[in-house]
Amino acid sequence: MSTLRVGLVGARGHTGAELIRLIAAHPRLELAFVTSREWDGQRLADHNAAYTGQLRYSNPAHEDLPTLGADVVLLALPNGKASAIVQAFDAAGVDPILIDLSADYRFDPGWYYGLPELTRHDYAGQRRISNPGCYATAMQLAIAPMRTVLDGPVQCFGVSGYSGAGTTPSDKNNVELLRDNLMPYALTGHIHEREVSKQLGHSVEFMPHVAPHFRGITLTANLHLSIAFDLDEVLARYRNRYAGEPLVHVQEAAPWVSRIAGRHHVEIGGFTLSGDGRRLVVVATEDNLLKGAATQAVQNINLACGLDEMTGIPLEHAA
């Protein structure tokens, strides 16, 4: 079987490090290049123990990226940085599979929106793939089974570890400011709020916060329902919807964020109904760097390259 060459643009960040680990362990992928301005020329193996080859970080100009011979190119960059690179590939007439992990193309109908558990039926060979946001993944998976019986906006309260704020220094990844603290931000109009509302075709109101832990998301969704349910009916909906999905674990108990760090799936549980059966609260946890970013990107690589979707992704059974 042939090996697929993967280029990683923006390899220094937290998500870039997780992508390197996953690609290094993948039986069909190898790294073609990794870019970083700050680490240009340094050995990749000196920064990431999962990689044992001789590749070094590089800092090529955008117009040189199409010449580097990658079958798949991952863009792990901050929002607003992807389009110049996409334009460079267009101008060169080179058409690898491009997977953007930023928000830049999540609203572009010309790009496949790659949340496989909910959108794989829309995949028809597209070579431009937009990887969903971390919070947006947890929100959509928590809400989707009840989508047809929602009554009014869904409220989502989210708490993320500070790795979600990236490596550029800010209040949201300042460990001293976050110590014994919970920092709210972007309480209306957050891009993930708009992303989820668009993808589900239903209004979602999202209130994100940053906590002192490094990785992991807790997402609590408050759903008003058009008809009454009992708990068994709710559990059956979620279990039926995600039957056969190895990266979505449905459980009765509320999931703990401390148990999701370093794991590749989403846990959904804590199902609680109001007395009249028409208000449901659901809790989802997820590692924001894995299923919220890198693991999902590998799912999308596998899907686009005709591989089994779980190739190279460590699987764990639900508790």
- Domain spans in the chain, listed from the N-terminal domain onward: 4-132+292-304, 134-288
**134-288 homologous superfamily:** Dihydrodipicolinate Reductase; domain 2 (3.30.360.10)
The CATH class of 4-132+292-304 is alpha beta
Q: Which two tokens stand for residue 237?
A: 């909906």
User: What number is the average pLDDT over the span 215-231?
Assistant: 98
Query: Which pLDDT value is given to residue 173?
Result: 78
Fold agreement between 4-132+292-304 and 134-288: no
**Could you give the CA distance from residue 32 to residue 177 in angstroms, rounded to a whole number?**
39
> Is pLDDT at 304 greater than 60 in this prediction?
yes
Q: Which two tokens stand for residue 9?
A: 């643009």
Confidence of residue 39 (pLDDT cuts 50, 70, 90): very high
Query: pLDDT tens-digit profile of 232-241?
Result: 999 999 999 9
> Is pLDDT at 319 greater than 60 in this prediction?
no
Q: Which two tokens stand for residue 161?
A: 């570890």
Confidence of residue 167 (pLDDT cuts 50, 70, 90): low
Query: Which pLDDT value is given to residue 66?
Result: 98
- Residue 78's nearest CA partner among 111, 56, 100, 109 is 100
* Residue 276 burial (10 A CB sphere; 0-12, 13-18, 19+): exposed
Going by C-beta distance under 8 Å and a sequence separation of 6 or more, which residues neighbour residue 12?
A: 36, 38, 39, 57, 167
Confidence of residue 174 (pLDDT cuts 50, 70, 90): confident
Which residues are annotated as catalytic?
134
